[in-house]
Structure 1
Amino acid sequence: MTDLLLANEPVLRLAFFFGVLAALMLAEAVVPRRRRAIPRLTRWVGNLGIVVIDTLLLRLLFPLAAVGFALVAEERGWGLFNTLAVPGWLAFVVSLLALDLAIYLQHVMFHAVPAFWRLHRMHHADLDFDVTTGLRFHPVEILLSMGLKIGVVAALGPPAVAVLVFEVLLNATAMFNHSNLKLPLGLDRVLRLLVVTPDMHRVHHSIHPNETNSNFGFNFPWWDRLLGTYTPQPREGHEAMTIGIEQFRTVGDLRLDRMLIQPVKGPASGYSLNRREEQADKIRRGG
C-alpha cells in the first residue's frame, strides 16, 4: 500500500488539491462567512497564478522534493528514525507532529525577521480572505519552506509516507482554514481543538499587528495554545474586521506582477513579532 501511494504521489496530490479547492469554492458560495470586498476574478487571477509559478519552480529546483528526499534518507540511513529501531506507527505520528511544529516555527520566523517578513507579507496583503488566500505565497518563500522541510527530513529520517501525508494535509488544511466558510459556532469550538478552523486563522489576517502576530498554526492548533500565540477572536468581529496589512491596499496591488515585486517595495516595518506585547499593552491601555 505504501509503495502504491508513493508511486502515485503526483496524481494523489493533484487529485486532493483540485478536489479540496473545488469543494471549498462551492461551500464558500453556499455558506459564506463574510461579504466579499473584492470581486473573485480580480483576486483569483493573481492568487491562482502564483500557484502555477510556485509549482513549476518547486519541480524545477527540487525535483525530489521532501517525499523523494525521505526515500533517499531511508536508503542511506540518514536521520533519527533510520538509525533507531522504533515502531512504524510511532515514527509516523511523531513525524507528522515534528513537521507541523517545524512549519509553525517557520511561520513565526517569517513574521519575526524583517527580511523574511518582506516575502511573507505578500500572503497577508490579500484584501479579502478565501480559499485562494491559502495558496498565495511568494515563490521565494515557497522555496525556502521546501528547503526547511528537507532539512527536517534529513535530521528526523521520517517514513516517506508520513511526509506525503503531511504535505497533502498541509495543502488541504491551508485551503480549509483560509476559506470564507461559515461554520456553526458550536462546531467551530469543537473543531479548533483538533484543527485550525477558518475563524481561528482569519484572526491572523487582521490588519491589526497584534492579531496578525497570533494564530500561526496551519494543521494543528495546539502549538499556538502551548506557546502563547493564540487569540480566540478578532476584536472587531469577523464580519467587520479589516483583512490585510497597512501596505498594498489598492486593487492594482492584487495584480500578479505587483505581487511578485512586493518584497522589494516599501519598508518592512509595523508587523515585527517582537512588538506584539508592546502592541497588546497599548491596546489594553486604550492607546
Structure 2
Amino acid sequence: MGLLLIMCEKFFPRRLAPSDRKRRWFGNLGVVVVSAILVRLIFPFLPVALAVMVTLKGWGLIPLLGLPLWTQVIIGFVLLDLAIYLQHRAFHLWRPLWLLHRMHHADTFYDFTTGVRFHPLEFCLSLVFKLALVVLFGIQPLAVLLFEVVLNCVAMFNHSNIKLPKDLDEVLRLFVVTPDMHRVHHSTDSQEMNSNFGFNLPWWDRIFSTYKDQPDLGHQKMNIGLNIFRDTKFLSLWSMLIMPFIKPNAGKSEK
C-alpha cells in the first residue's frame, strides 16, 4: 500500500513536496517503528483474540439481537468506525489527549507518512478503547479484523499527497474519506482543524455537522501543521516523541 501511494504522490502530487522530505519520512516512519515495538508487536492480534473470546462466551449487546452473522459484522464495523470518529473528536477537545494527538498535527507537510504518524501513547489509549468496545458490544472477530485492515489502508490513502480529479473525488467522498476531504482537518486554521474528523466512513462529519467541503484558501495555499512546531528541529524522532511534554514558543497559538 505504501509503495503504491509513493508512486501516486510522485506522478500525481496535490502539493509540491518540501526539500526535507527524507528527514520528515525518517521521523514519521520512525514513530511507526517505536509504536510497532511497544504496541503492534506486543499485542498484534489482541483485539481480534479478545473478540473471539467474547463471541465464544456470548458477551456484549450485539449478540442479544439474534441477527445473522454478516449483519453483526456490518454493525460491528460501523460501530467501531463511529467510535473512532468520536475518539478523534475527544482527542481534540480534552487538553491531556490533545497533547498526545498534536504530534500527528504537527507535520508541516501532508503525505501518506502523516497517516501513520501517531504518538505511541495515543496508540495505547486507542487500543484500550477498542478493547472496551469489543467487550461492551460483543463485536464479531471478523468485523474487528476487517476494521483494522481497512483503517490502516484508508488512513494512509486519505493522508496521501495525491491529486484526484474533482469529479472522482466528489463521488468517492460519498463512501470513503478522500485526501482532499481530510487534508482540511490538518489546516492551521482552528475552525478547519476542528472539522472532517472521519478516517474511514465520511458520513459522521455530515451527521454531526463537522463537515467542511474545501479549505477557505484552497488546497495549494492552505497552511498545514501547528504554528508552535514549525521549526525543523521538530522533525527529529526524539523531538516527536517528547512533543506531548514540551511547550515551545509559548507566545504562539497552537491552532
Give TM-score, length-normalised by structure 1: 0.85
Say if 1:205 and 1:244, in contact at 8 Å, map to a contact too.
yes
Question: What letter is aligned with 2:193?
Answer: T
CA contact (8 A) 1:111 1:117 kept: yes
- Cα offset, 1:40, TM superposition: 1.9
Unaligned 5+ segments in structure 2 are none
The corresponding residue for 1:131 is 112
Contact 1:37 1:127 in 2 (8 A): no
1:161-211: CA deviations, max 9, x gaps? 111000000000100000000100000011111100000000000011111
Q: Which amino acid aligns with 1:172?
A: C
Q: CA separation of 1:79/1:38 partners in 2, compared to 1, >3 Å: closer, same or farther?
A: farther
**What is the rounded CA distance, in whole Å, between the counterparts of 1:219 and 1:103 in structure 2?**
9
What are the residue-to-residue correspondences of 1:57-136 with 2, within 5 Å? 57-59=38-40, 62=43, 64-136=45-117
* Residue 25 (1) aligns with residue 16 (2): no
Secondary structure, aligned partner of 2:219: coil
- 1:230 is paired with a residue of what secondary structure? coil
Distance 2:120 2:16 in 1: 29
Counterpart residue number, 2:166: 185
How many residues get paired? Answer: 253
> Which residue in 2 is equivalent to 1:265?
246
Deviation at residue 270 of structure 1 after TM alignment:
4.8
Query: Matches of residues 130-149 of structure 1 in structure 2 within 5 Å?
Result: 130-149=111-130
- Per-residue deviation, 1:84: 3.9
Give, in whole Å, the separation in 1 of the partners of 2:19 and 2:103.
17
The answer to whether structure 1 residue 151 and structure 2 residue 132 are counterparts is yes
CA apart distance, 1:36: 1.3
Structure 1 residues 204-240: Cα deviation after superposition (integer angstroms, max 9, x where no partner): 0001111101000000000000001011111111011
Following superposition, the deviation at residue 77 of structure 1 comes to: 2.0
1:58–1:65 contact (8 Å) kept in structure 2 = no
Q: 1:137 to 1:195 in 2, by over 3 A?
A: same
Residue in 2 that maps onto 1:37: 18
Question: How far apart, CA to CA, are the structure 2 residues paired with 1:175 and 1:60?
Answer: 20
Deviation digits for residues 57-100 of structure 1 (CA, Å, limit 9, x no counterpart) = 11465354211110111122221234442111110111111000
CA contact (8 A) 1:57 1:139 kept: yes
- Provide the rounded CA distance (Å) in 1 between the counterparts of 2:102 and 2:94: 12
- Structure 2 CA distance for partners of 1:185 and 1:271, relative to 1, 3 Å: same
Give the gaps of 5 or more residues in structure 1.
1-19, 273-287
- Inter-partner Cα distance in structure 2 for 1:173 and 1:99: 14
Sequence identity, in percent?
51
1:103 CA displacement: 0.2
Q: How does 1:157-196 map to 2 (within 5 A)?
A: 157-196=138-177
Contact 2:227/2:254, CA 8 A, preserved across alignment: no
CA contact (8 A) 1:122 1:262 kept: yes
Q: Write the letter of the residue equivalent to 2:56.
A: E
- Tell me by how many angstroms 1:247 deviates: 1.2
Cα separation, partners in 2 of 1:27 and 1:103, compared to 1, 3 Å: same
1:95-152 deviation line (CA, Å, top 9, x unaligned): 1110000000000000000110000000000010000000000000000001111111
* Aligned residues: CA RMSD: 1.6
Q: Distance in 1 between matches of 2:11 and 2:229?
A: 30
Question: Does 2:181 correspond to 1:200?
Answer: yes
Matched residue, 1:244: 225
- C-alpha change, 1:101 and 1:38, in structure 2 (3 Å) is farther
3-state DSSP of counterpart to 2:27? helix
